[in-house]
Amino acid sequence: MFSLFYGLWKYIFSKTEFHVLILGIDKSGKTALLEKLKTLYSNLEGLPPDRIVPTVGFNIGRVEVLNTTCVLGPGRPGMIQYPKQAQYVTKLSSFLYLPQPGLRSIWEKYYEEAHALVFIIDAACPSRFEDSKSALEKVLIHEDLQGAPLLILANKQDLSEAVTAEELARYLNLKKLDERVYMFEAVSAFNGTGIKEGVEWLVEVMERSKRTEMLRNRAGVDGPTYSFISG
């Protein structure tokens, strides 16, 4: 009986973890995004934009997102079902990899374990849209990322020259997006605009994603165990 109640308590209140890769070409704002995530979702104050320097190698960060909309049930045959809401914490473990041309091959080493992707684009620099589009297309066709939910961020919306998320979506015209769950979001890693909306959408999507189920089954995990990896 103790083990039954302990298992139920652990199922409801344990922290889940997602692995999410944050990708994008150089100077798109990945480090700034990671620092803003620290400010928004942890007790740590992220670096202010004027102190951020180009990343050499990769950055690692970890933040927690409080989610109160998880419905427990129905469960698998043989499991006790508790159709009530439970408050739990989702842990995001973030790894940021430098995406300069000579280092983009590093990305692929982390594809297999990723539950989802965040691809960030400098919306204020149209001259580099084609480079971002090319990099994203290569990511989308990789076999190790099949079914991974995708959040595309049109960053630097604090700048007057930035295009909207809708304009960026029309420019990219990515046919491969029809094959996966995705969202375009206009954000500013400088002032935080739109970041919570995008991240919390991604958490909700990952919780019911077939890819999450596949990764959990492959790891032999009984119940929700996820981590966020951003790269």
- Binding residues for GTP are 24-31, 155-158
User: What residues are designated binding site?
Assistant: 24-31, 55, 155-158
CA separation for the pair 32, 34 (Å, rounded): 5
**What number of other Cβ atoms are within 10 A of residue 199's Cβ?**
25
Cα–Cα nearest to 28, from 97, 116, 115: 97
User: What residues are designated binding site for Mg(2+)?
Assistant: 31, 55
98 φ, ψ to 5°? -70, 120
CA separation for the pair 116, 118 (Å, rounded): 7
Q: Return the H-helix or E-strand segment holding 179.
A: none
Q: Give CA 181 to chain center in angstroms.
A: 13
